[in-house]
Structure 1
């Protein structure tokens, strides 16, 4: 089984992002459903039109928008592609306002996945060219039943546990300190096969 081994600004320049364009998060949690509705309506798309563009069921999108279900990463990616936005658009407001972002761990925003959690580490940065994410996977959790495909490149650095990545049919098992980088147009996905949580730094480069 193949494996990758790896062994001063002024105060006004620092910015901790605040949601202003859609409902504010409570206790650091992001309402992905409300954010999805905000983005869809901003593009004057009906939920049926978005379903057709994304390949998802109308009922699935409705459940997400109403907070009845937590979308998988692969589902979020499908919707992001259909809307023409980066996946991080579901976690931060429009109109980034700063060239420097300082984000204390206590103020980090996160969203629940079906079996884990995702945090956007770059929220509030202007002219973003990278999308840094912190992903936490519960035992047995993964990116979803469908392979993910999107433009750009993807970098992953395992922080805790063991994560199995599948990229274009090849399997890579990452342990703490291991990293993987690949063209994200290749079908890919990940899964935590262990009985304990796993965490990884995920950097998307559209």
Structure 2
């Protein structure tokens, strides 16, 4: 049941083109709460689920009667088939494939415009993530360590450590990253 509620919440959130952070903010709950529910690691109480769904907005009846999409079987994806899961503020995250039950790895094609920044508040979530820079430069801060990475450089860390990404170069920075479990 935890997996089904989490999967349903993720599908509804993605259909509404909301990030976990955006939904958490709209619902007045911690980002970690949304992440834990979607990953099936916790089961929300009815009142907690109602509060989260109010941020969409959606009723419990609509939530549980919503048709779930079929599990995809694609192996190959054209650039035009990547799913934009976040945007704005000069940052684009395009996901390979769509969210579905059983995904334990998320792969993103990321694009940071010059000066784009994930924000002063450091990110933190369960799992691990890594990436490799394809073009431009990206300043990566993990905990107390900061390094500017260039083409061919890479990073890999435990995502529970506070982290932040910022394009410090004058040109667009692109990279491919992966995270497990998916955090968007």
Normalised TM-score (structure 2)? 0.64
Q: Of the two structures, which has the highest relative contact order with CA contacts closer than 8 Å and spacing of 6 or more?
A: 1
Q: Tell me, which stretches of 5 or more residues in structure 1 are unaligned?
A: 1-20, 25-29, 55-77, 87-92
Paired with 2:165 and 2:25, the residues of 1 have a C-alpha distance of: 31
Report SS of the residue matched to 1:113. coil
Shift of 1:192: 0.2
Q: List structure 1 segments (4+ residues) > 3 angstroms apart after TM superposition.
A: 21-24, 93-96
Matched, 1:184 2:159: yes
* Aligned-pair Cα RMSD in Å: 3.1
Aligned length: 140
Q: Which residue of 1 aligns with 2:47?
A: none
Determine which of 79, 97, 104 is the counterpart of 1:129: 104
Q: Are 2:17 and 1:32 aligned?
A: yes
Distance 2:124 2:131 in 1: 15
Q: C-alpha distance in 2, partners of 1:46/1:198?
A: 28
**Who is 1:102 aligned against?**
76
Q: Distance in 2 between matches of 1:132 and 1:102?
A: 13
**Secondary structure of the corresponding residue to residue 38 of structure 2:** coil
TM-score using structure 1 length = 0.58
Aligned 1:19-168 pairs, distance under 5 A: 32-33=17-18, 47=26, 50-51=27-28, 53-54=29-30, 78=31, 81-83=32-34, 84-85=37-38, 95=69, 97-110=71-84, 111-123=86-98, 126-168=101-143
Which piece of structure 1 moves more, 114-123 or 193-202?
A: 114-123
Deviation at 1:176, TM superposition (A): 1.0
Q: 1:169 to 1:95 in 2, by over 3 A?
A: farther
In 2, Cα distance between equivalents of 1:193 and 1:46: 28
- 1:115, distance to aligned residue in structure 2 (A): 1.3
Could you list the runs of 5+ residues in structure 2 that have no partner in the other structure?
1-10, 40-66
**CA distance 1:23–1:203, shift in 2 (3 Å):** closer
